[in-house]
Structure 1
Amino acid sequence: MTPNWDDMRSFLAVARAETLSAAASLLKADPATVGRRVARLEEALDEVLFVKSPQGYRLTAQGQKLLSHAVRLEQTMLDAREDLGGQGSELSGQIRLGAPDGCANFLLPQVCAAITAENPDLDIQIVALPRIFNLSKREADMAITVSRPEAGRLLVQKLADYRLHLAAAEDYLAKHSPISSMAELSHHSFIGYIPDMIFDKELDYLSGTPFERVRLASNSASVQLNAMRQGGGVGVVHDFALPAAPNLRKILPDVFSLKRSFYLIRHEDDRRVARLSRFAESLSEGIRRELVRLEALA
């Protein structure tokens, strides 16, 4: 029995969603149908592709091997559809983009909205998670990171530098002692990351400073920003997020300033996938342009 494309699409959806119901939602199909297609593919290949449990579906070693081939087949089908449809430079299909939540909340919505406006047949899924994405498991088609990966079969492209500063709400500053030096910060409450949940060393903003105690902490940059907006204390904030929080004011910007970088990473197998390359180019241009605009307003 030769595998067919519908069965491979169902396999891909279950591999990504890890449950039949979630995969069925992605495919706009019935869960029982998705289950039958996966079973038919396993029969055709004479391989067990998933370990099934009450917690969901997990790829076996053989399923993991098939995944990369299925993704390449999917990209080939999407490229063929674009070419046969005569859509020229327009993008179509679905692209899933992973990003740290600061970037996902304050940069990607407007950048991706502009891209979808120019490509009406394109669906973009932004996955905001405070951790590093595993592209080998195809959790996303590409991901933005805050440090350059040192291992793995990955394509890595530096997108842009960005800056961070100390900030606090105007109400907080009005109610507490003035801050004219770094030493005076010791009298203030700090907002930051939960120390044992910092997933990347580039996010360890307070390491090596006298202000390592964090009285109000979260693993989310967006939660930290909202805590600052509510007068919870002093924190480190992205300059590109400040226009979204007009009641925040920078503190000691000439004394404390951090520079970090965003990197776009893709799986090496996607090097020749034209639609992903075109999307990456549009995304890179949009992020650079939006960073310049927002940091000028900060």
Structure 2
Amino acid sequence: MDWDDLRVFLAVVRAESLSGAGRALKCDAATVGRRVARLEEALGNALFVKSPQGYALTEAGGRLLPHAEAAEAAFAGAAEELSGTGRQLTGQLRIGAPDGCANYLLPQVCAEICDSHPGLEIQIVALPRVFNLSKREADMAIAVSPPTAGRLTVQKLVDYQLHLAAHESYLAAHPPILSRADLRAHRIVGYIADMIFDKELDYLAETRAEGVGLASNSVSVQMQMLRAGAGLGIVHDFALPFTPGVVRVLPEEIGLSRAFWLIRHADDRRSERLERLAAALGRGMRREVARLETLAAVGQGVGSPTRAVVAPGL
């Protein structure tokens, strides 16, 4: 069995089309089709069936998949060993993450990793949904809850805190908020209900509000709404130092704790390079969350002198 044919097989599995696999492999779809046919002939089994949704694995293809992925991991490990990447990490790493993490944590963490490993190229893909690692949309993904199915390796990265918050201008222009009951008179900023892709993001119950007045599927957009004085919303403490004027409201009454989880394909545990990158990512995330939450607790912005902020009406 030819490794190049297995590589083509994996590309079709992940792209679910010959043309998509061809783009990934930098060859035409006809060549991909011939290579798949050659592999099927050698194995004596059909590996794919074409459907309206694209190319789907047959039962035989499903049995071949873990072996092909193991071969891929073995080849990658051999390349790492021979190139000496045990000392300096090189190559490309794509990290998928929800946009709050991608906007407020990963830029600093990844910059630090790249400073230590100049030959490394890191790509951050920020999407408000769950990543499909089987299709290699990313090499590793960060999620707000651990998956319960699939051939995946899952490790907890860090706990983080969230609180109700609003801009000082909004608080100054609206009735005081002394208890949860007072929130009924205020506009709530939050997620679009039918676009919440993880139950851990459903914060509405914490405010006891009947609905969201301004909504977005993006954490960053929600934060911009708060900066514009549009209302109150549940926000990450680690984002507050980046948003001057946005302060916590009822912090003793309304507070949430969540966690980020690092998700990788199970076979990637065999790669020393990815193991080291995962460890570096975890260390950096824990340091950065601790640093930013400390700044948020004292009302200090990034790069600003320490200042204590008390929301009007509290």
* TM-score range normalised by the length of the shorter chain: 0.7 to 0.9
- In the other structure, the counterpart of 1:6 is 4
Structure 1: 5+ residue stretches without partners? none
Q: Distance in 1 between matches of 2:120 and 2:21?
A: 19
- In the other structure, the counterpart of 2:25 is 27
Given that 1:92 and 1:120 are in contact with CA atoms closer than 8 Å, whether structure 2 keeps it comes out as yes
Largest Rg, 1 or 2: 2
Alignment counterpart, residue 50 of structure 2, candidates 36, 49, 52: 52
- In the other structure, the counterpart of 1:205 is 203
Does 2:164 correspond to 1:185?
Answer: no
SS at match of 1:254: coil
Given that 1:50 and 1:60 are in contact with CA atoms closer than 8 Å, whether structure 2 keeps it comes out as yes
- In the other structure, the counterpart of 1:101 is 99
**CA shift at 1:282, angstroms?**
1.0
Given that 1:78 and 1:92 are in contact with CA atoms closer than 8 Å, whether structure 2 keeps it comes out as no
SS at match of 1:89: coil
- In the other structure, the counterpart of 1:73 is 71
Aligned in 2, Cα 1:116/1:7: closer, same or farther, shift over 3 Å?
farther
Q: Distance in 1 between matches of 2:94 and 2:101?
A: 15
- In the other structure, the counterpart of 1:18 is 16
- In the other structure, the counterpart of 1:241 is 239
Aligned in 2, Cα 1:129/1:68: closer, same or farther, shift over 3 Å?
farther
Given that 2:187 and 2:230 are in contact with CA atoms closer than 8 Å, whether structure 1 keeps it comes out as yes
- In the other structure, the counterpart of 2:254 is 256
- In the other structure, the counterpart of 2:310 is none
SS at match of 2:41: helix
Q: How many residues align?
A: 296
Given that 1:240 and 1:291 are in contact with CA atoms closer than 8 Å, whether structure 2 keeps it comes out as yes
Alignment counterpart, residue 84 of structure 1, candidates 69, 82, 88: 82
SS at match of 1:178: coil
Given that 2:189 and 2:233 are in contact with CA atoms closer than 8 Å, whether structure 1 keeps it comes out as yes
**CA shift at 1:207, angstroms?**
1.9
Aligned in 2, Cα 1:96/1:38: closer, same or farther, shift over 3 Å?
farther
TM-score, normalising length: structure 1 = 0.85
**CA shift at 1:136, angstroms?**
5.3
TM-score, normalising length: structure 2 = 0.81
Aligned in 2, Cα 1:24/1:158: closer, same or farther, shift over 3 Å?
same
Farther-moved stretch of structure 1 (123-132 vs 164-173): 123-132
**CA shift at 1:53, angstroms?**
5.0
SS at match of 1:97: strand
Q: Distance in 2 between matches of 1:120 and 1:39?
A: 41
**CA shift at 1:132, angstroms?**
3.3
RMSD in angstroms over aligned alpha carbons? 2.8
- In the other structure, the counterpart of 1:287 is 285
The alignment-based identity, stated in percent, is 64
Aligned in 2, Cα 1:72/1:211: closer, same or farther, shift over 3 Å?
same
**CA shift at 1:280, angstroms?**
1.0
Structure 2: 5+ residue stretches without partners? 297-314
- In the other structure, the counterpart of 1:161 is 159
